[in-house]
Structure 1
């Protein structure tokens, strides 16, 4: 057989690779994307979801664990059911970034700076503000 008549076209190689990559991406990230695009829920619904594991979601602490430890809050408050919500992994990342940015709601300092020395209920209030500002719960 004379191989000089066979030519490999780049598109013939690229198409299967592209299809395989698309399938991999969809399998890996579609749960996270769907969770990110989900409609806002109530705080009670997010709390109820904590016991229902779902791909593309994380359990989030309204009062951050590190802040709770720093402030000396009781562990049963920081790790208790009332402080836990199930949210999109990508929204969780957004909230972590939100806590690191200066904010008018926290007197133009980062929420983490603002919350130093504040009572537990203020930490909860700011945690709920983060959920509202990132679209996890309706304003």
Structure 2
């Protein structure tokens, strides 16, 4: 296991059986309690979603569809293919812009397998943006 110190916590990168990083990051608080565990992909989603706007959660509006039709542009999907990662992205965007994570969003994340410690971490990281 490799440990790296950061100003506010310690991050532990789990190693796989062959000695390479398994891509799971663990965050510990100052007393060493496991605060949250995210995969490398989930970490990337959290980081990238901190820059998304609330408009990225809505389907394209009438004007956007009209401009795409007039200029022959293809519509691109804003949603992530994985529903768990999309729920995570949406939660980060909502928490960042509303300054808290609403109960329905937290409930959706719990249903998708996220724990309470992870929810607190997601909200804190979204607000730190």
> What TM-score range do you get, normalising by the shorter chain?
under 0.3
Task: State the structure with more CA Rg.
Answer: 1
Q: Structure 2-normalised TM-score? A: 0.24
Greater fraction strand: 2
